[in-house]
Chain A
Amino acid sequence: MRGNTYLYILVMAGVTYMIRLIPLIFMRKEIRNVYLKSFLYYVPYVTLAVMTFPAILSATASLWSALAGFSVALILAYRGGSLFKVSILACLSVFIIELMV
């Protein structure tokens, strides 16, 4: 099947791109319905929260380093740290905890 690898890649790329593109093309007008608007407003918060937790707990080599990274990110984000700062310091705290464990 080696020869078909590129076809597989093109098929998956086509499907994935269409999923992303179709709503952007067909939803050009601003939605007036307050419930639909609210729904779309809440979407990112729910999606990102669901993706983050509990997945973050199993992302690193140990639960403890993951918890450290999670807590550091929560605290820094609460204090209004930038994306870059929160993200890097979460990584750094995982690294330090794993050096110690």
Chain B
Amino acid sequence: MSNKIIPWKNGIKDGIPIALGYFAVSFTFGIVANKAGMTPFQAVFMSAANLTSAGQFGALALIGTSATYLEMALTQLVINLRYCLMSCSLSQKFEAGAGWPHRFLVAFGVTDEIFGVSVCKEGKLNPFYNYGLMSVSIPGWMLGTFCGVVSGEILPARIISALSVALYGMFIAVIVPPAKGNKLLTGIISSSMLLSLLFAQIPILSQISQGFKIIILTVVIAGIAAILFPVKEAAHER
């Protein structure tokens, strides 16, 4: 029992910052969805079924212009392709005994945040940890959407602004500790941030969508790092 309950509880604990950050983002999504003419039910349904911020914002724009279903499918594929990379990485963390049902369930919750937190966990991944993360962050995502659609004025702008850094704070808490005292990881993280900044500033590169930028930089930087600094067995398990 305890190898299910304990990881689940840990997941809930680590999921709270995700839920707070999600609340802020989905609150904004709710406001936009309302402006786009969606009912509260439709907006919350979209959030529950998709769990993807960029994809959902993109979808609102497409629905607004009465796009075809094919356009919708292709746009989502492009915006969300990074999840494919994340699932590949996650697949290697799974406990050997984790069967099909767990893979189907965990897949539903592969978001930037849930991926980031679960993949950097030490040792093998217990799916119940992911369920813990999902069981607080998904309600946070849905609740934020609902509050945003129903009223943009429930929360003062200051609170939304402050909550907007919750997810970034969490990302930093995930990547910085393993990099401490590790020159290689420090170098990789710094160059990733630097190149990301360049991509945002250089005129031609800044036109690339956020989703593609993440894919390009991840493939290039992680690829170069893997060739130059292949990881030894022991290091991989940390």
Contacts and interface: CB of A to CB of B under 8 A. Distances in A.
A47 B173 contact: no
B38 A94 contact: no
Nearest to A35: B226
A40 B218 contact: no
Contacts of B81: 19
Size bracket, chain B contacts: 35 or more
A63 interface: no
13 contacts: A6-B45, A15-B76, A24-B103, A27-B87, A34-B231, A40-B89, A45-B222, A49-B189, A60-B164, A65-B162, A78-B180, A80-B177, A86-B170
Nearest to A69: B165
Interface residues of A, number: 79
A21 B103 contact: yes
Contact of B169 (A14, A47, A73): A73
A2 B217 CA distance: 38
A21 B91 CA distance: 10
Contact of A50 (B13, B73, B192): B192
Given A20-B108, A49-B196, A94-B162, A77 B172 contact: yes
Contact of B116 (A48, A81, A87, A99): A48
Contacts of A41: 89, 226, 231, 235-236
